[in-house]
Amino acid sequence: MLYRITSEADYLRADLFHRETAEESREFFCAVAEAMQRRRCSSALISVHASSPLFTVERSGFFAEFAILDSDPERKIALVADNDELDYSHEYFALLAQHQGMNVRHFRSETVALDWLRPGGPGMAQDVHGQHTHS
């Protein structure tokens, strides 16, 4: 596993490569959540590359790690996948996160994800299936 976290103008960018296990996901999500808190970023683009799909949300640490962040209503997390199977797992993560009150969406296009993250960007984003979701 390899990851890179960088600060962009309006968001935190987190790229993850070759993640295979839930434990690796936990390490990555912890690093992203800590970077968001430390850098006071309210938006994050999480782009996952060449990794196995993951459906064990609790074991991945996604909710536990992002729970350290305050309940900022402007906080947005965009998940971008580089293949269909990974996108299905991101769709599942986003659905569960939304049920917990988190503003998380999944995308196949980084451009569309960045439009959704942009302050003052569109209030609606098209998901990968062309359906509209409210932000």
* Of residues 61, 106, 64, 113, the one with CA closest to residue 83: 106
**3-class DSSP state for residue 4?**
strand
Q: Over the Cα atoms of the chain, what is R_g?
A: 13
| pLDDT at position 59 | 81
- pLDDT tens digits, the chain, 135 residues: what are they? 999 999 998 899 999 999 999 999 999 999 999 999 999 999 999 999 999 888 888 888 888 887 767 666 678 999 999 999 999 999 999 998 888 888 899 999 999 999 999 877 664 444 444 444 444
pLDDT at 128: 43
- Domains identified in the chain, total number: 1
The CATH number of the domain holding residue 37 is: 3.30.750.24
Domain membership of residue 40 as a residue range: 2-134
Give pLDDT, residue 121: 63
Q: What is the pTM of this model?
A: 0.85
How far is the C-alpha of 33 from the C-alpha of 49, rounded, in Å? Answer: 19
Residue 127 near residue 106 (C-beta atoms within 8 A): yes
Q: Which residues contact residue 89 at a Cβ distance below 8 angstroms, ignoring those fewer than 6 apart?
A: 53, 54, 55, 81
What's the pLDDT at 132? 41
Cα–Cα distance, 41 to 55 (Å, whole number): 26
d(CA 103, CA 45): 12
